[in-house]
A and B are shown apart, each in its own frame.
Chain A
Amino acid sequence: MKQKHLVIVSAVFLLLAFAAAALLYQNRKSDAAAQAYQRDKSTFVRAHSPVLGNPAAKVDVVEFFDPACETCKEFSPFVKKLMAAHPDKIRLYARYAPFHQGSDQVVKMLEAAKRQGKFWETLDAVFAAQSSWAAHHRPQPELVWNYIGGVGLDIARIRQDMASPEIEKIIQQDLADAKTLNVKATPEFFVNGKPMPSFGYDQLKRLVDEAVAAAY
């Protein structure tokens, strides 16, 4: 009987030690990420990155997204709600991670729309029609044209700008940064440099709430 207890106590002790070590490690890593972000933001945010919100906000939410990614679309209103809950305290940066075949074409459209000052409006239109042009994870970029008519873009100029090498360079830069930051799936969020401990709305909300509480 004593031996049985010894084994059970050991098993429980080892599992608890594992859980405690995992928690400690996550916290340390998250703090280190935040410090690295304060020192150098360049891999997280580039000069070309579209930004939404108060330019003087102290909380940066960096989102790597793919226009064809359903979960990105579902997170979009949620992120806007978070920003509305903390007015003028959050800046949202969009980074491209076109992991789906063909969605880089849509990113080029968005980047061309940015030149006309209509990035976020176009993104909303693209997300709203996502189920029509990217059903079953098979994006058909040429269909997107049918859904961005209402944004008020100069379509001829979009088509022209999409071919520009600068836009290709921006996509390559974002993909390289995604690799450096170990972004393997979209959407991936960094709140003042901290990644979500695990994926989910609540985890993102908690990160944002903590960052706002720390900064204001």
Chain B
Amino acid sequence: MNSPAGAQNSNWALVFACWLLACVSTLGSLFFSEVMGYPPCVLCWYQRICMYPLVLILPIGLFPFDRKVVRYAAPLSLLGALIAVFHLLLVAGYIPESIKPCVQGVPCSDVQIEWFGFVTIPLLSGLSFMLITALLLVAHRRSSE
């Protein structure tokens, strides 16, 4: 149904959207730590390790468009999503105290921000990673068809 050029364009747009999400998440996390002064906990740092490289890797795949970019970016976003889910379970109390990985600095179960009563930092992170992963998978599917 789509011409090859049209398909490539819409895949480009998907990866571009992923890049925008990664940028907003990166700047958002820097705003929390550098402007608002909330120290990031250990799990937050692991999520940052997965998020920040996307800001650089994704645009390299955009110029010129390389459909393989999904293969380089998806492991990061998938791992980030897993850590965010773990973090959310920890905050919600589903994961017992004893296997909390963070002992120094800020406890990961601390809730530093709660907008509208349910939006926390790990929730924002998890949504962002999952959305990026989903968009990358759609782009991958379409380009391999």
Contact = CB atoms under 8 A, between A and B. Distances in A.
A6 B9 CA distance: 13
Interface stretch (A20-28, A32-40, A69-77, A80-88): A20-28
Contacts of B19: 7
Interface string B11-43: 010001001100110010011000111000000
A130 to B, nearest CB: 30
A34 to B, nearest CB: 18
A78 interface: no
A10 B63 contact: no
Contacts of A182: 37
Contacts of A14: 20, 23-24, 27
Contacts, number: 32
Interface in B80-102: none
Contacts of B12: 3
Contacts of B63: 3-4, 7
A7 B59 contact: yes
A6 to B, nearest CB: 7
Nearest to B34: A22
9 contacts: A7-B16, A7-B63, A10-B23, A11-B23, A14-B20, A14-B24, A18-B27, A21-B35, A22-B31
Interface of A: 3-4, 6-7, 10-11, 14-15, 17-18, 21-22, 25-26, 182
Q: Which 10 A-B pairs give the minimum distances between C-beta atoms?
A: A22-B35, A18-B27, A14-B23, A25-B35, A14-B27, A7-B59, A10-B20, A3-B12, A4-B63, A21-B31
